[in-house]
Chain A
Amino acid sequence: DIQMTQSPSTLSASVGDRVTITCRANQSIYTWLAWYQQKPGKAPKFLIYKASSLESGVPSRFSGSGSGTEFTLSISSLQPDDFATYYCQQYNDYPWTFGQGTKVEIK
């Protein structure tokens, strides 16, 4: 199975900050990577596919980049609604696997 590792596990930031979350795969997944946002008790929200393609309706302050084994999710100016846990997921090879999550909390 492809292992996905996110860093940091927790990130403390303030409204207006630029934040970056890293996701690493233990083998190349090309650009077959998605990002999701989850708030406590809520359904995950789909943000990005193919590493950098923004899902329709997702604010443009979100962006994704990377290829191969290293990827990033960036939020250009953190908004109150963005405090949540973020997960990356590879879909290069079955079984699809997820990172362990990065919690973005208020500083």
Chain B
Amino acid sequence: EVQLMESGGGLVQPGGSLRLSCAASGFTFSNYAMTWVRQAPGKGFDWVSTISGRGDITNYADSVKGRFTISRDSSNNTLYLQMNSLRAEDTAKYYCAKGPDHYDHGYYDHWGQGTLVTVSS
């Protein structure tokens, strides 16, 4: 059974940093693209970033480019999102999600429960 468990969210001041983690199990992690998607309170979803199965291809939304870094560690089946220079508008629940294979096809067949990031002074 595919399981994705996010952690690392919390309250951070504007300009601060956080690193989110997503522990994956139930599938061969290195064979699948992984993504982060966020959902602001009461709002819809915004795609944030995706990394290929091998980790050699990354893509970012313009709103986070240069501030966020996606990475993965296949030795411990974990996806990361390093978030720097955080802004109030980054406040959201962050979900990690799994793609259908190593390449980012753009849709995601399993999602975690999410971790809440609140950026506020």
Does more than half of chain A's interface fall in helix, strand or loop, or is it mixed? loop
Chain A contact residues, CB within 8 Å of chain B: 32, 34, 42-46, 49, 55, 87, 89-92, 94-101
Distance in angstroms between the alpha carbons of A95 and B108 in the assembled complex:
14
Whether B107 pairs with A98 at a CB distance below 8 angstroms is no
Distance in angstroms between the alpha carbons of A32 and B95 in the assembled complex:
22
Distance in angstroms between the alpha carbons of A98 and B35 in the assembled complex:
14
Assuming the A-B contacts A87-B44, A99-B44, are A55 and B109 also in contact, with contact meaning beta carbons closer than 8 angstroms in the complex?
yes
What chain A residues lie within 8 Å of B106 (beta carbons)? 32, 34, 89-92, 96
What chain A residues lie within 8 Å of B97 (beta carbons)? 44
Q: Show 7 A/B contacts (Cβ-Cβ < 8 Å), sorted by A.
A: A34-B107, A43-B114, A44-B95, A46-B109, A46-B111, A49-B100, A99-B44
Whether A91 pairs with B105 at a CB distance below 8 angstroms is yes
Interface size on B, residues (CB 8 A): 22
Whether B44 pairs with A46 at a CB distance below 8 angstroms is no
Assuming the A-B contacts A34-B107, A43-B112, A89-B107, are A94 and B44 also in contact, with contact meaning beta carbons closer than 8 angstroms in the complex?
no
Distance in angstroms between the alpha carbons of A43 and B58 in the assembled complex:
23
What chain B residues lie within 8 Å of A43 (beta carbons)? 4, 95, 111-114
| A-B interface contact total, Cβ < 8 Å | 50
Distance in angstroms between the alpha carbons of A34 and B97 in the assembled complex:
14
Distance in angstroms between the alpha carbons of A101 and B107 in the assembled complex:
16
Query: What's the nearest-Cβ distance from chain B to residue A21, in Å?
Result: 14
Query: What's the nearest-Cβ distance from chain A to residue B64, in Å?
Result: 10
Whether B111 pairs with A98 at a CB distance below 8 angstroms is no
Distance in angstroms between the alpha carbons of A76 and B50 in the assembled complex:
34
What chain B residues lie within 8 Å of A96 (beta carbons)? 47, 106
List B residues 48-67 near A (Cβ within 8 Å). Answer: 59, 61-62
Q: Which of B62, B105, B110, B114 contacts A95 (CB 8 A)?
A: B62
Distance in angstroms between the alpha carbons of A89 and B4 in the assembled complex:
21
